[in-house]
Amino acid sequence: MDKLSVMQAFRRIVERGSFARAAEDLGVSPALLSREIKLLEESLGTTLLTRTTRAMSLTDAGRLYYDQTSGILDAVSDVEARIRDGVGVVRGHLKVNTSTSFGQTVVAPMLPGFLDAHPDLRLTLSLDDRVVDMVEGGFDVSIRIRPAMPDSALVARKIGTVRQRIFAAPAYLASAGAPETPDDIRRHRIIGFLLADHLTSWALHGPLGSATLDLDPPVRVGNSLVLRDLLIAGHGIGTLPDFVSREPEATGRLVRVLPDWELPAPEIFAVTASRLGMDAKVTAFLDHLRAALRS
């Protein structure tokens, strides 16, 4: 028995004062409506309506049921109306999770413009370099950078691609020498990204095909911004995503090592928990994020 439908039917019977008129309004037969009310009464263990050939009246239990369920039905109707009215409106509380480096270098610079465009929005931005349970954390969207997303109940939408390249400081290369082939990397001090798939194995591709380097980085860090700063300070060679390397490369603080060689390019995914589509606040956030990635 669909309790909500039965509540609506009972309410219509009481307000119309007739099974026949209520059945006509609901588009069902009076006999079906009578059976549903009988099942409802049996489930409650009491009589809600007394009926004669001439009249129908509520019992005390029926009056209580009518009063209480009318409030429930009005509340449901109000919630549905508010949701329908809110579709397409960017408001409410948006909770976003992403990695520290991506959050600081890509998301943070776009936030002033995003918040200015949507002044009614509340925002919580969580930065975490480890993958969190977004459902348990109550996040609307999580930005994850991975070669691929595993099958799960979550919904992943690709919003960009990351270039992963090798960098070092000019001073380090002047002192240690610049590698000329992938094999030359083995002679250098490697700074590894602790959370990367390529911590101890670099699968490079370049003009001469592919090369795989098995490495044992003496320094391993779990944040690519820390890795960047160690490279700038001349502590070795390491890999960086383009959103982290762009500024220090542009200013000359870092230079490409083996510029014709790269690691596989991971994808940027926007992960949501619902398969029913994104609401307006998530859509607006991702539109701003895509624009930031293009620029």
Q: Is residue 122 part of a domain?
A: yes
Mean pLDDT is lowest, of 135-139, 185-189, 203-207, for 135-139
Q: Is residue 185 part of a domain?
A: yes
CATH number at residue 139: 3.40.190.10
Are residues 216 and 154 part of one domain? no
pLDDT band at 84 (very low <50, low <70, confident <90, very high): low
Point out the domain boundary residue: 70, 86, 102.
86
Backbone torsions φ then ψ of 22, nearest 5 degrees: -65, -40
Give pLDDT, residue 194.
92
* Coil, strand or helix at 195: coil
In the chain, the DSSP E strands lie at 49-51, 56-58, 92-98, 121-127, 141-146, 155-161, 164-168, 191-193, 201-206, 209-214, 219-221, 238-241, 255-256, 267-272
**How far apart (Å, rounded) are the C-alpha atoms in residues 120 and 66?**
38
Average pLDDT, stretch 132-159?
Answer: 81
Average pLDDT, stretch 153-166?
Answer: 89
**Which residues span the domain enclosing 243?**
164-256
Whether the pLDDT of residue 204 is over 90: the answer is yes
Whether the pLDDT of residue 276 is over 60: the answer is no
Point out the domain boundary residue: 37, 52, 86.
86
Per the structure, the count of domains in the chain is: 3
Report which of residues 76 and 98 the model is more confident about: 98
Are residues 275 and 150 part of one domain? yes
Whether the pLDDT of residue 71 is over 80: the answer is yes
Report which of residues 135 and 266 the model is more confident about: 266
Q: Is residue 44 part of a domain?
A: yes
pLDDT band at 163 (very low <50, low <70, confident <90, very high): very high
CATH number at residue 9: 1.10.10.10
**How far apart (Å, rounded) are the C-alpha atoms in residues 58 and 128?**
59
Q: Is residue 178 part of a domain?
A: yes
**How far apart (Å, rounded) are the C-alpha atoms in residues 73 and 148?**
45
0.85 surpassed by pTM: no
**How far apart (Å, rounded) are the C-alpha atoms in residues 284 and 132?**
23
The sheet with strand 155-161 has its strands ordered as: 121-127, 92-98, 141-146, 267-272, 155-161
Are residues 153 and 30 part of one domain? no
Are residues 122 and 197 part of one domain? no
What is the identity of the amino acid at 15? E
Residue with tokens 């329908």: 84
Point out the domain boundary residue: 25, 58, 86.
86
Whether the pLDDT of residue 287 is over 80: the answer is yes
Nearest to 161 by CA among 243, 261, 249: 243
Are residues 57 and 36 part of one domain? yes
Average pLDDT, the chain: 89
Whether the pLDDT of residue 186 is over 90: the answer is yes
Are residues 273 and 225 part of one domain? no
SS3 content of the chain, % helix, strand, coil (to 5): 45, 25, 30
Are residues 249 and 184 part of one domain? yes
* Coil, strand or helix at 278: coil
Mean pLDDT is lowest, of 42-51, 82-91, 174-183, 211-220, for 82-91
Q: Is residue 68 part of a domain?
A: yes
pLDDT band at 156 (very low <50, low <70, confident <90, very high): confident
Are residues 249 and 178 part of one domain? yes
Q: Is residue 262 part of a domain?
A: no
Give pLDDT, residue 259.
95
For the four alpha carbons of 57, 63, 68 and 71, in that order, the dihedral sign comes to positive
Report which of residues 242 and 25 the model is more confident about: 242
Are residues 290 and 153 part of one domain? yes
